[in-house]
Structure 1
Amino acid sequence: MEESKKLEKKDESEQRVWSWGAGTEGQLGTKILQDELFPRLLHQPSLSSISSLACGGAHVIALTSAGKALSWGRGNSGQLGHGEIVSNALLPKAVMSLDGYFITHVAAGWSHSGFVSDTGCVFTCGDGTFGQLGHGDYASHCLPVKLSCFVDQRVVQVACGMRHSLVLLKDCTRTQVYGFGSGKRGQLGVGNNKVKSVNFPRVVNGFEDDEIVGIAANGDHSAAVSVDGHAYTWGRGFKGFEDAHLPHCLNSSLNFIKVTLGWNHALAMSAEGEVYMLGGNHPGVLNISPPAKHLPESREVNLERVPGLDGMKITDIATGAEHSVIVTGKMTWGWGEHGQLGLGDTCDQMSPVTVSLGYDLNGAESIKVFCGSGFTFVVTIPLILLKL
């Protein structure tokens, strides 16, 4: 047999992870407690097989392709899940108590974390003073604890906001979303404006027969996307609008596939690779005209297409507290105080600006972006080529 006909696998590129922005609590994984104004390539062997990341207030959770969870950064409330209170952890460390599970989804809030296994179990740890861990009390935990109320059900996703959490359940016939934690701005979606906090999961109403396939939480906001491309938001009203205590479907004919949330804004990506923004005129959204005045009872959200992206197909989006990142040349904008825009300075940007990673990404199969409160991560997935 001729050698030229033998199949050989070869890695044309290695997986790479970059981070920048706020780093004074170890969240960048650089081993240094300082902000980084430019993207910095991490040299961490433990991050060589990352499939996803979750970025919170000042901590990060990484999910590997082998179903393992790693965490680092601020750990003052037990949100790292290592069984102890630490001011910060400089290096990724495995969440050992979950070793018996294959983890498929992770989430990071301001000071709490969530984990979902392939068997449908959901675990939470960290700050529980608002009931955001969902265990029926207001206790905090340094190790991930399984939510007993879902023991006979299948959880597929978890999302963590500032002080609240969402979980997405799926069975053979339907999906359901549950919320718990702080609810004073309506972010739990229970339809009661007198609910201040809930320490046990309660079902989110308002989706009717729509099948939800994705959930998101940040700040006092919540969001969901359905299989039919409908996008829902609820919780704290975007600038100029009142709070919504039930999910509100965006008034659009677009087919949305992803929604990400900041503290005062949101991004929504369509199946066609277009990106739209929700919110008013402030850093993190864009320098657009503020929404027109609405009647007090109005809950219509101002939806605008991000300008300057004509002819570009967006492949991923992420939002931090007050900044945004999209993948099509890795553009960023918004609040820049900690260098989270990756442009080498601490200036705000009111329109998308391209970030240079100092590396040719043409060989990357995919590029994923993740944002925390004042910091940014980029992960590339290598392209494996088969050669004769």
Structure 2
Amino acid sequence: MDSNDDRQSEKQEIWSWGAGTDGQLATGLLQDEHIPQLLPFQPSLSFISCGGAHVVALTPGKKVFTWGRGTSGQLGHGNLVNSLGPKSVDVLNNFKITNVSAGWNHSGFVTDIGHLLTCGDGSFGQLGLGDNVSQCSPVKVLHFESWHVQQIAFGMRHSLALLKGEKGDQVYSFGSGKRGQLGISNEKVKSISLPMSVSGLDQVNVGSIVANGDHSAAISDNGHLYTWGRGFDGKPGMCFPERVISMVSFTQVSLGWNHALILTEEGEALMLGSHHGVLKNHQIQNLTKHNINEEQVKKICGLNGIKVVGVASGAEHSVLTTENGAVLTWGWGEHGQLGLGDTRDHNNPQVVSMGQSGAHEYATSNVYCGSGFTFVVRNL
């Protein structure tokens, strides 16, 4: 790493586990890992985004490293080759990158002046470049050149961008829309390759956006949650953002393929939908109903009043971290993505052990999920 800000941090540990056959765990091995692995490289990372089988990482010095599957060009290295470990995205070295996102097979990078660059699979228009061509190096999205992009969120085959400006906040989308995840029409759109404004958020001050699978979501500055795209629990999809009606304020949302984890202002983790084949109706508790096809926000059993500070969702697994730094996982475990030493599914949150020092001595643990793998950045 080049700058002083990007040197190895003595107060940070990076752990990974789960599916690893494309190099996405950065262990240097092409294999699944059923227990947490302390990574042999220890750069200082400020943010990680995990995709289908690749990872995009941002350093405090605003530099970008990627690794894992690269067969669609999603690593941005100018080729279609996998990477077993972190490799600098050299074409971005002249930029200061402030936000990144990894989709299933595509990636995006936001600069400090609000420009967006994308690379990877473009077959559904998810790169926002006006065509369906894939790119193996980051290319600027010219549609946003006169706007200020603040944040991006990439799903399976679609992309969201949050724009800030004098006229207020706007969310744009592009890519596949067959489940309504673009939020641009009252009918489901096959795909679009140029960004279009998401309907129904014009009067909302959007604080953050999230995408995964065929789902999209946004949280407003005042804690309201909006979702659109594929419905949860087999319910019909929504073509426009709809607010989840609740008496509590939300601070974070993380989307899986069939579920969403939501974090309240009070530190309670809640769920929309369920892990396919894992959580049963008798293992959840109804909290309230919202106006989206009578879906239900649900309490998660087994937390016993534990204060949660962060949530993350894979395709079918969930991860949360508590105020004392403990990491808990549950859901689908076929690839060891729960970090519990086996490949079984687990119905209720279980504490993950990382190292001999135990799980409760750390001030903060930031958690991130790919489709079948997990990363934790622990600040000691």
Alignment of 1:278-357 (within 5 A): 278-280=272-274, 282-283=276-277, 286-289=279-282, 299-328=293-322, 329-357=326-354
Identity in percent: 54
Q: CA RMSD in A?
A: 1.9
**CA deviation profile, 1:305-347 (whole Å, cap 9, x unmatched):** 1122232110110000000000022110000000000000000
Q: Structure 1 residues 281, 343: CA separation in 2 closer, same or farther (over 3 Å shift)? A: closer
Paired residues of 2:97 and 2:110 also in contact (CA < 8 A): yes
| Unaligned segments of structure 1, at least 5 residues | 1-10, 383-388
Aligned counterpart in structure 2 of residue 81 of structure 1, from 58, 61, 76: 76
Amino acid paired to 1:92: P
Q: Which runs of 5+ in 2 are unaligned?
A: 1-7
Cα distance in 2 for residues equivalent to 1:298 and 1:48: 43
1:22 matched to 2:19 = yes
Deviations 1:87-136 (A, max 9, x none): x2101000111111111111001100011111111111000000000000
Report the equivalent of 2:123: 129
Secondary structure of the residue aligned to 2:86 is: strand
Give the number of equivalent residue pairs: 364
> Are 1:49 and 2:6 counterparts?
no
> Offset of 1:366 from its aligned partner?
2.0
Separation in 2, partners of 1:202, 1:372 = 27
Question: Which has the higher mean CA deviation after the structures are superposed, 234-243 or 73-82?
Answer: 234-243
- Are 1:35 and 2:38 an aligned pair? no
Q: Which amino acid aligns with 1:375?
A: F
Displacement after TM superposition at 1:160 (Å): 0.7
Contact 1:12 1:363 in 2 (8 A): no
Q: Which has the higher contact order (CA 8 A, sep 6+)?
A: 1
Residues 13 and 363, structure 1, Cα contact 8 Å, conserved in 2 = no
Q: SS where residue 364 of structure 2 aligns?
A: strand
Rg larger in 1 or in 2? 1
SS at match of 2:87: strand
2:165 aligned to which of 161, 164, 171: 171
CA offsets 1:240-291 (integer angstroms, 9 cap, x no match): 311100001001121101110001110010111111100046346x333489
Q: Distance in 1 between matches of 2:120 and 2:109?
A: 12
Q: Is the partner of 1:205 in helix, strand or coil?
A: coil
Q: Of residues 54, 59, 68 in structure 2, which corresponds to 1:64?
A: 59
CA contact under 8 A between 1:57 and 1:110: conserved in structure 2?
yes
Q: Displacement, 1:173? A: 4.3
SS at match of 2:281: coil
Q: Aligned partners of 1:212, 1:170: CA distance in 2, in Å?
A: 9
Q: Does structure 2 conserve the Cα–Cα contact (< 8 Å) formed by 1:216 and 1:261?
A: yes
Correspondence 1:112 to 2:106: yes
Match of 1:192 among 174, 186, 193: 186
Partner of 2:238: 244
Please state whether the residue corresponding to 2:233 is helix, strand or coil. coil
* Structure 1 counterpart of 2:5: none
SS in 2 for 1:233: strand
State the 1:163 CA deviation.
0.3
Name the SS of the counterpart of 1:217 in structure 2: strand
Shift of 1:206: 1.1
Matched residue type, 2:345: D
- Paired residues of 1:157 and 1:214 also in contact (CA < 8 A): yes
CA shift digits 1:344-369 (9 cap, x unpaired): 00000111111111234666442100
Q: SS at 2:91's partner residue? A: helix
